[in-house]
Structure 1
Amino acid sequence: MARFLKKFDKKSGMPPGSLIFIGRQKTETPRLRIIDYDMGMIRDEFIQTIDDATCAKTTATTSWINIDGLHEIEIIKRVGDNFNIPSMVLEDILNTGQRPKIEEYPNHIFISMKMLLLDEDETTVRAEQLSAVLAKNYLITFQEQPGDVFEPVRERIKRQGGRLRKLGPDYLLYTLIDCILENYLKVIEKMGERIEEMEDEVFGNPEPDLLEEINLYRREMAYVRKAVRPTKEIISKINKLESDIISTEILPFLKDLSDITELSVDSAEIYKEMLASHITTYNMVMGNRLNEIMQFLTIFATIFIPLTFLAGIYGMNFDVIPELHYKYGYYVLLSLMVAVAITMLLYFKKRRWI
């Protein structure tokens, strides 16, 4: 399956709002988890059905409902029915190739973003879609598979007395977005370390394997930019929202996300340009190396042109040649050829051709 664009064959001819899973199944069985908390209590448990979390709509506590696995349409449809989520939003949730976006509705806010993770080789980037539906007293998140960058947030929720336990789901959403953006920087920084190391190798002793690695990083950095760049638009829009769902207490924190976003986008652009510069430098160094080889071969051939001329005359099969029966003719010719070669080398040296 293509990484930059998912196949939309399943949606061809279907009406808007049709619930069709687009992407690759990444987990065997969907997993539902609810973390319900306030200043005095916390409940963290896995639940069997979304019906077990419906009470989150009416309780005064903050509820974080997380669903790992999107391939079972009935579960997603049930979530939509229980929490009055429009079918157009559910359609975007099921489309794992959805471009990051933010949409405001009367009773909730929908956000879709990409989480980035590096494989064990630290060169290949994996992206997972995170969709979030924010309401007045609950937050529902949808992930493609178990495992994310939010474990520090869960640990903070478990600690009493923190701001996270005091504030509502809007602050929880801010915290999750902050984790995603900080992880962008970690991924870019890790790739950037190797990209900067390549500069010395390009100038030092470039090999074909290095060019292959540069092209690999170019592809991966393009994949990172595809995920990171739209977040700039999302953060800009979320700061302009005039919704009762987001309290005024959260606005200063949301504005702080702009700095991280700008840094992520700028870093990705800088490393993209560095990789393009590496390829240009690699081609230049290899071109210079080829020129040196051609220069040597040209000089070598040029020296042998007059020597071949002399040897050709000496080897002509004529009966009457003045030097044919000369006792030292062979040695004279060899001496002349050596003298010509040395003279040409000295001339090339004087002209700084070698």
Structure 2
Amino acid sequence: MARFLNNRDQTAGLPPGSLIFVGQRKTDVPILRMIDYDGETLREETVADSDVLRPCLTSDSTSWLNVDGLHDPEVMRRVGDAFAIPPLVLEDIVNTGHRPKLEEYPDLLFTTLKMLSLDEEENRIQAEQLSCVLTGKCLITFQEQPGDVFEPVRDRIRRQSGRLRQRGPDYLLYALLDRVFENYLKVVEVLGERIEEFDEEVLDDPSAELLEEINAYRREMAYIRKAVRPAREIALKLVRTENGLVADETLPFLRDLLDLAEQVSDAVEIYREMLGDHLNSYNMAVSNRLNDVMKFLTIFATIFIPLSFLAGVYGMNFEVMPELRYPYGYFILLGFMACVAIGMLLYFRKKKWL
């Protein structure tokens, strides 16, 4: 499957709002997990029926519903009906190749972006789509599979102390996005450590294997950039939003989130430029090595030109060549040829060609 674009042939010709899953199925059965909390109480459970979700809409507590698995249209439809999620939003949620974005509605706020992870065995970036729907007292998150970077947030909720238990779902959305952006930075830093090591290797040993590795890192950084750049736009829009679902008390934290997004974006651009510099340095090192080889071969050939001339002269088959009958002619010629070769080497060194 293509990493940058998903095949959307199965949705061609269908009306807008059709719940057709686009992507790779990563779990067998969707899992619905609910965390309902306020400053004093906490309820955490796995939900089997979406009907039990409706009381969350009128409750004074903050509710976080997490859906793992997007491939079942019936489950997605029931969740959408329970929280009055528009069909077009549901369509974007089940399309795992959708570009990260933020959309505002009168009674909800929708954002979708990528969560990244590094497969250290294959040294390859893996991406999973995260979609968030913010309503009055509820936050609904949709993921492709179980397992995420949000466990520290869940631990903070389970502890009764802390700001998270006192704030609403808008602050919870900030906390989740903050974890996503921190993970972006972690992934970029891990790749960056290896990219910085290329500085010496590219000059000392510009091998074909090193070139292949540099190009592999360029592809991975391009893949990260595809996720990070629009995610930065999401943070910027959140800071500027005037939607009543985002409290004024949350805006300072969103500005901090924007700073983190800028840091991630800058890091990605820096390492992309470094990889471009490494590639240029590699080409320059290979070119210099080729020049050294050509220089050696040229000098070698130049020295043998007069020697070949002398050998050619005395290799002619004329009957009258006085030097051919001289008893020491062979040794004299070899000595003269050696002097010519040594003289040319000294001349090249004087000219600093060697």
Cα deviation digits, residues 118-167 of structure 1 (max 9, x gap) = 11237311111100000111100000111111010000000012111111
Shift of 1:190: 0.8
1:324 match: secondary structure: helix
- The SS at the match of 2:130 is strand
**In structure 1, distance between residues paired with 2:30 and 2:183:** 25
Moved more, 198-207 or 45-54: 45-54
In the other structure, the counterpart of 1:267 is: 267
2:180 aligns with: 180
Aligned-partner Cα distance in 2 for 1:183–1:33? 22
2:306 corresponding residue in structure 1: 306
Find the counterpart in structure 2 of residue 150 from structure 1.
150
Higher deviation after alignment, 283-292 or 43-52: 43-52
What's the offset of the Cα at 1:205? Answer: 2.0
**1:120 alignment partner in structure 2:** 120
Amino acid at match of 1:228: V
1:54-69 maps to which residues of 2 (within 5 A)?
54-69=54-69
Q: Check the 8 A contact 1:100/1:227 in 2, yes or no.
A: yes
Q: Distance in 2 between matches of 1:120 and 1:313?
A: 68
Asked whether 1:338 is paired with 2:320, we answer: no
Q: In the TM superposition, what whole-angstrom CA distance separates every residue of 1:75-117 from its partner, at most 9, and x where no partner exists? A: 1111111111110000000110111111111111001011111
The CA deviation string for residues 177-226 of structure 1, in whole angstroms up to 9 with x for no partner, is: 00001111101111111111111111222211111110000000000000
Indicate conservation of the 8 Å contact 1:122/1:190, yes or no: no
2:162 aligned partner: 162
Cα deviation 1:257-283 (Å, max 9, x = unaligned): 111011011110000000000000010
Q: In the alignment, does 2:343 pair up with 1:352?
A: no
CA contact (8 A) 1:56 1:138 kept: yes
Structure-1-length-normalised TM-score: 0.98
Distance in structure 2 (CA, Å) of the matches to 1:251 and 1:344: 78
- Corresponding residue of 1:29: 29
Query: Counterpart of 2:312 in 1: which secondary structure?
Result: helix
> Is contact 1:122–1:191 with CA below 8 Å preserved after alignment?
no
**Partner of 2:325: helix, strand, or coil?**
coil
Q: Does 1:136 align with 2:139?
A: no
Give matches, 1:248-259, under 5 Å. 248-259=248-259
Secondary structure of 1:60 counterpart: coil
Work out whether 1:288 is the aligned partner of 2:288.
yes
Match of 1:38 in 2: 38
- The one-letter amino acid paired with 1:83 is F
What residue in structure 2 maps to residue 87 of structure 1?
Answer: 87
**What is the alpha-carbon root mean square deviation over aligned residues?**
1.0
Q: Report the residue type matching 1:233 in the other structure.
A: E
Tell me the CA shift for residue 348 of structure 1: 0.7
Asked whether the 8 Å contact 1:109–1:134 carries over to 2, the reply is: yes
TM-score, normalising length from structure 2? Answer: 0.98
Contact 2:36-2:64 at 8 Å conserved across structures = yes
CA distance in 2 between counterparts of 1:240 and 1:315 reads 91
Larger displacement relative to structure 2 (264-273 or 39-48): 39-48
Residue type matched to 1:91 in 2?
E
Residue of structure 2 equivalent to 1:321: 321
Q: Distance between the aligned counterparts of 1:290 and 1:255, measured in 2?
A: 52
CA distance, structure 2, for counterparts of residue 69 and residue 178 of structure 1: 22
Query: In the alignment, is residue 105 of structure 1 matched against residue 105 of structure 2?
Result: yes
- After TM superposition, give the deviation of residue 49 of structure 1 in Å: 2.6
Q: Distance in 2 between matches of 1:57 and 1:296?
A: 81
Moved more, 42-51 or 135-144: 42-51
Aligned counterparts of 2:67 and 2:181: Cα–Cα separation in 1: 21
2:201 aligns with 201
Deviates more, 1:323-332 or 1:215-224: 323-332
Q: Determine the C-alpha separation between the residues in 1 that align with 2:124 and 2:146.
A: 19
Q: What residue ranges of structure 1 are gaps of 5+ in the alignment?
A: none
Is 2:224 the partner of 1:191?
Answer: no
Q: Distance in 2 between matches of 1:122 and 1:108?
A: 40
Counterparts of 1:66 and 1:55 in 2: how far apart (Å)?
A: 16
Q: Distance in 1 between matches of 2:158 and 2:122?
A: 31
Alpha carbons 2:35, 2:64 under 8 Å: kept: yes
How many corresponding residue pairs?
354
* 1:234 CA displacement: 0.9
Q: Is the 8 A contact 2:53 2:82 kept in 1?
A: no
Paired with 2:95 and 2:213, the residues of 1 have a C-alpha distance of 32
Q: Within 1, Cα distance between the matches of 2:293 and 2:54?
A: 75
**Distance of 2:229 and 2:38 partners within structure 1:** 35
What is the SS of the residue equivalent to 2:112?
Answer: strand
In the alignment, what sits opposite 1:4?
4
